[in-house]
Homo-oligomer: A and B are copies of this chain.
Amino acid sequence: MTFPKQVTLVEVSPRDGLQNEKAIVPTAVKIELINRLADTGLTVIEATSFVSAKRIPQLADASAVWQGIKKRPTVRYPVLIPNLAGLENALAVGVKEIAVFTTPSEQFSQKNTHCSVTESLQRIEKVTQLAKQHGLPIRGYVSCVLGCPYEGEIAAEKVATLSKTLMALGCDEISLGDTIGVGTPNKTQQLIECVAAQVPIKKLAVHFHDTYGQALANIYVALLCGVSVIDSAAGGLGGCPYAVGASGNVATEDVLYMLNGMGIETGVDMQKLLGVVAFIARELGKAPVSRVYRALQ
């Protein structure tokens, strides 16, 4: 069996991790979190989302966070963009890379973004057109790829078609999100193989939530399929406020432990990462849920 020699970890804790926290995290803490994450060797850190402050008050400080972080030349700091207004705000502060999102589930789309899947693609097209004019790389998130809290099973072909459409709209990478964590290894393999028939495997990332403890087994399968970009969140922070049963993202330190054991390079320092987990846990007043943190702290 062959695996990628190197994996890029896309750290999503500052955005996907924090957006679910009820108590507003001070902007300075968010900035320090991102700077500390960059110190660990992570090369891609999703910094925030330029979403309506009314929709997600936690991320109302997107511009201030973006402007406050110390930009390392070797680190990419993408931000999530829900619509054209968000992109305009992001461009105004000099954002260099963005992400957009949609889902194959009509019901999830309605609950999460109050529009149909087709309408979400129309929104995305406006965003990608302007982003491309500014030369920004674009990541496309596809949510609920292995199951939807409202619709149940999702056909892999729908995910593949949607992923291809996102690429046609200008996305450079597709992140396949198991938003509610219901995926298991064989279904993960079938999904990735189905999507990889439409989108080159090198353009695919995986984004697992560890709701049922399946994330690492699924990531192992994704590696077997040739995927070399993995989303994760330090301390297993996060979840989706609009998805019932969506507990935290897979913890970066749990993924890193597996990749280290497999001899796959990431450039990330475990001890420094555990230090960041301790920092954000202190700030949030919560004990980290990851097994690796609890074993190694």
Q: Interface residues, chain A, CB within 8 Å of chain B?
A: 1, 3, 181-187, 189, 210-214, 216-217, 219-221, 245, 247, 251, 254, 257-258, 260-263, 290-292, 294-295
**Top 3 A-B pairs, shortest CB-CB distance:** A184-B261, A213-B291, A213-B254
Interface centre among A182, A214, A290 (most CB of B within 10 A): A214
19 further A-B contacts with Cβ under 8 Å, apart from A216-B216, A220-B220, A247-B294, are A1-B189, A184-B260, A184-B261, A185-B220, A185-B258, A185-B261, A186-B262, A186-B263, A187-B261, A210-B291, A212-B291, A212-B292, A213-B251, A213-B291, A214-B216, A214-B261, A216-B217, A217-B219, A217-B220
Tell me the bound Cα distance from A257 to B210 in angstroms: 12
CB distance from A262 to the nearest CB of B (A): 5
Closest B residue to A258 by beta carbon equals B184
Task: From the candidates B1, B213, B261, B290, name the one contacting A257 in the complex (CB within 8 A).
Answer: B213
Residue numbers in B under 8 Å from A210 (CB-CB): 291
CA distance A261 to B218 in the complex (A): 11
Which B-chain residue is minimally distant from A236 (CB atoms)? B213
Compute how far the CA of A247 lies from the CA of B296 in the bound complex, rounded to whole angstroms. Answer: 12
Assess whether B295 is in contact with A247, with CB atoms less than 8 Å apart: yes
Chain B nearest CB: distance from A26 CB in Å? 29
User: Are A214 and B262 in contact, with the CB atoms below 8 A?
Assistant: no
- Interfacial chain B residues near A290, Cβ < 8 Å: 213
Q: Give the docked Cα–Cα distance between A295 and B289 (Å).
A: 14
Q: Which B residues lie within 8 Å of A181 (CB)?
A: 295
CA distance A262 to B290 in the complex (A): 25
* Contact between B184 and A245, CB atoms less than 8 A apart: no
Q: Is the CB of B217 within 8 A of A258?
A: yes
Q: Quick one: which of A183, A260, A291 has the most chain B CB within 10 A?
A: A291
Answer whether A212 and B295 are a contact pair too, CB < 8 Å, given A185-B258, A185-B261, A220-B217. yes
Which of A210, A213, A219 has most chain B Cβ within 10 Å?
Answer: A213
Centre residue among A181, A220, A257 by max chain B CB count within 10 A: A220
The residue on B at minimum CB distance from A250 is B213
Which residues of chain B are within 8 angstroms of A211 by Cβ–Cβ distance? 291, 295
Q: A213-B251, A220-B220, A251-B213 are in contact. Are A257 and B184 (CB under 8 A)?
A: yes
Q: Which residues of B contact A295 (CB under 8 A)?
A: 181, 211-212, 245, 247
Q: B residues within 8 A CB of A216?
A: 213-214, 216-217
Q: Given the complex of chains A and B, what is the CA–CA distance between A263 and B263 in angstroms?
A: 31
* A289 to chain B: closest residue by CB: B291
CA distance A295 to B244 in the complex (A): 10
Q: How far is the CB of A89 from chain B (nearest CB, A)?
A: 36
Q: How far is the CB of A96 from chain B (nearest CB, A)?
A: 33
A295 CA to B149 CA, complexed, in Å: 13
